[in-house]
Amino acid sequence: MERLDIVLSALRRLPTSTHPVIVALDGPCAAGKSTLGARLADTLACPLFHMDDFFLPLERKTPERLAQPGGNVDWERFLHEVLQPLSRGETVTYRPYSCHANTLMPPVSISPAPLAVVEGVYALEPALRPYYALTCYVDAPWPVRETRLLQRCGPEGLEVFLQRWIPLEERYFQTLEIAAGCDLIL
């Protein structure tokens, strides 16, 4: 069964009293989270939120913050600007962070919806977990992920991932046992 079908099947089994339904897709870089999230959002006609929009600005990437598992993302801002309003059925307004420009972009507003998808590394930070009706760990073999990273950012970019970002992700996954706490492992 294809990943999309597995998630759709799991959604059909959720209690009908669960509203809004928020699905979280977490897992290592280049595992297919963004693709799966986009397919879910298209299939279900629902909003899609990207954890990449909530990475920490450079000035907040202190050694102390980065030493925390999951400390590379501004999960506090994601909680306050996205998950809390979404869970109350309110309009969500947030400013995506641009890593390339090191700035917050213009505000984006999303109308209340009965269903939403969150995708990205760090989506399952422990403080965020209570807001999700379905949690998924999305993975792929390293050779597949390596090829995707090379295509996405070239050899120099891959080296940055290997030296900086992947170790931060691995510490987060292992320390917080992210996969073990998921409803689905894809």
CATH topology of domain 3-185: Rossmann fold (3.40.50)
Decide: 84 and 68 in contact? Cβ < 8 Å: no
Which pLDDT score is estimated for 19? 78
Query: For 77-116, how does the pLDDT look when each residue is reduced to its tens digit (9 = 90+)?
Result: 999 999 999 999 999 999 999 988 999 999 999 999 999 9
Which pLDDT score is estimated for 58? 87
Does position 1 have pLDDT exceeding 70, yes or no? no
Strands (E), the chain: 21-26, 48-50, 92-94, 97-98, 103-104, 108-110, 115-119, 134-137, 184-185
Q: Compute the distance between CA of residue 13 and CA of residue 175 in angstroms, rounded to an integer.
A: 30
Does position 18 have pLDDT exceeding 80, yes or no? no
Query: For 175-185, how does the pLDDT look when each residue is reduced to its tens digit (9 = 90+)?
Result: 999 999 999 99
HSE-up of residue 179 (Cα within 13 Å, Cβ side): 12
Which pLDDT score is estimated for 24? 98
